[in-house]
Amino acid sequence: MANTMLETPVCDALQWNVLDAPLIRWRGTGDGALQTTSLPELLAAMAADQVRDFPALRAHQRHPWHAFLVQLGALALHRAGQEAPWQEAGQWRAALLALTPDDADGAPWCLVAPADRPALLQPPVPNEVPAKWSNLLTTPDAMDMLVTSKNHDLKAARMRQAQPEDWLFALLSLQTQEGFLGAGNYGISRMNGGFANRPGVGVAQVGAWGQRWRSDVHVLLTQRERIAGDHSFAYEDGHALLWLLPWSGAESLALSSLDPFYIEICRRVRLVAPHGKIQAHAAGSKTTRVAAKDSNGVTGDAWTPVEKAKAKALTVSAAGFDYKLMTELLAGERFAHGAAWRLNGWASDARLEVLARAAVRGQGKTEGFHERRVPVSPKLRRLLMDNAQRPLVAALAQKHIQAIGDMRKLLWSALAVLFANGESVNGNDTISVRASRFAQPFEAQEDSRFFSDLTQHAEAEGEQQDVVYVQWLLGLAQRAEAVLLQSFDAGPRSGMQRYKARASALARFHGGLRSGKGALSELASHYAAQKNSRPSAPEGDLPCPIHPLPAQTPAQAHPAPATSSQQLPLL
């Protein structure tokens, strides 16, 4: 790729116009060849499903970039009265330029423009001199929304050889997913409060970027009237690209004045390029750009679930999209989904997945980027679309959740006995904390395989469903005992204490399995029935969950393929 940082500025002070300049790198779906194109050329390639990925895009920037391309595409198509995306770059260029009729020279699509003119994702600041603003940022990662003050996971301000696209992605991340960060630094409207986050949750067909983009653009266009009506937006002639409007930092825009697909900004930032090297000047504001405090983040965003009872946008915690939250999103009644969540309208054999992303913010810190993909089989999709069957799937999921919770408590109890040398714990905080730490791998393992196990259970029919569930419980016990056995090396080392601690821990674990309490009662009944079927067994000889185990299906005998869930490095 050519070093565009050294190119001669075009159109006087207008530089790096994404409508014309090849600034955005992407790899093709065919041979993975690297392409460098303008924004209209990229949109044409997306419409033809030719885009595999974006090598310069950092993990936490994926959803803002997808949402930006979808909203921008839907806006351009709606204003042009077009339903299907164009596959010609020239048509996209004309449609994008039509969104900024007062700036025929394309200033709003340039990374650098005079301060009194709009620039891409940068509002005009007439009568101000950005060079006199106190905050100068020399790298795009210093401008991005991540808080990296301690330099732990991610070093701050390290992108010193950045390209224009790096500034584009960082600027987009800041303006469309940032929250509150002290006086004068306000956040976006599409989240529930300054310390919340903007989630990206939807259903997509397994494939490349273009496939998901086309689907979400289509959904936005078909849902436009509903979104406008539900949230009192201006159906026609509302403000769509909020960087077109001058902003002194003292005034806010009412939600009712905005287009349903509005692309917002939340900070006063201006890029400059002394000697051909991009820098950013930033200034504070006295208020938010969009007056949406009372909306609690409920703005009709296509990818934001809304808690029904509290009428507020989902805020993802530091735990990310764990199996409990994903169960609520997939089969529960707690959330109302955005337009990007749809299970109908696909081919019967379509490979679908739930895709959930969020960059989790805390008070003055970043708590990780979380992404999870949950495959949705055709049969599970039919069950979830059936109003009579969906609650049954939710009930099965809660049954699994309760069993995992009860098994974890039992495992914790056995670990506590192990670390107490076979004695009672008696409120020893050190032992309690240690037992909790050693029990964590068990729940993490169950989280990773939760939906593959649930799908197998939900897809079983009739009496086979009970058989599948018992086999899953047996596998659950097996995996929990494996964690206990792996923890033995961390227990007592001296001979007598070691024997006592290990024997007591196993006795506590096996006794709990046979006690028949809580969600493990079906497992206890299975063991009892197994014992009764062996009349020759010595008194007190009860089946052990590990040695021997009844014949298991492959799903119980071997770890299930994990649903893709991870807290990704912020690269």
Q: Which residue has the tokens 């938010």?
A: 288
- What is the C-alpha separation between 321 and 330, in angstroms, rounded? 11
130-148: b (≥16 Cβ within 10 Å) or e: beebebebebbbbbbbbbb
Please give the Cα distance from 97 to 20 (Å, whole number).
11
H, E, C per residue of 409-475:
HHHHHHHHHHHCCCCCCCCCHHHHHHHHHHHHHHHHHHHHHHHHHHHHHHHCCCCHHHHHHHHHHHH
According to the model, what pLDDT value does residue 4 have? 39
pLDDT in tens, the chain (571 residues): 333 333 433 334 899 999 999 999 999 998 999 999 999 999 999 999 999 999 999 999 999 999 999 999 999 999 999 999 999 999 999 999 999 999 999 999 999 999 999 999 999 999 999 999 999 999 999 999 775 544 444 456 566 689 999 999 999 999 999 999 888 999 999 999 999 999 999 999 999 999 999 999 999 999 999 999 999 999 999 999 999 999 999 999 999 999 999 999 999 999 999 999 999 999 999 999 999 999 999 999 999 999 999 999 999 999 999 999 999 999 999 999 999 999 999 998 899 999 999 999 876 677 899 999 999 999 999 999 999 999 999 999 999 999 999 999 999 999 999 999 988 777 788 999 999 999 999 999 999 999 999 999 999 999 999 999 999 999 999 999 999 999 999 887 777 888 999 999 999 999 999 987 889 999 999 998 888 887 655 544 444 444 433 344 444 444 444 555 655 444 4
User: Could you tell me which residues come within 8 angstroms of residue 536 by beta carbon, excluding any fewer than 6 positions away?
Assistant: none
**Residue among 222, 195, 408, 206 at smallest CA distance from 316:** 195
Nearest to 476 by CA among 410, 525, 528: 410
Contact present, 441 and 483 (Cβ < 8 Å):
yes
pLDDT at 282: 97
Helix segments in 16-143, DSSP class H = 39-47, 62-79, 89-98, 140-143
Structure tokens at 62: 């994926």
User: Which of 537, 512, 533, 535 lies closest to 524, judged by CA?
Assistant: 512
- Amino acid type, 127: N
Q: Which residues touch 264 (CB under 8 Å, ≥6 apart)?
A: 175, 176, 188, 189, 190, 242, 289, 290
| SS3 call for 73 | helix
Query: So what's the pLDDT on residue 538?
Result: 54
Residue with tokens 């800041």: 174
pTM of the prediction?
A: 0.90
User: What is the pLDDT at residue 532?
Assistant: 84
The predicted pLDDT at position 80 comes to 98
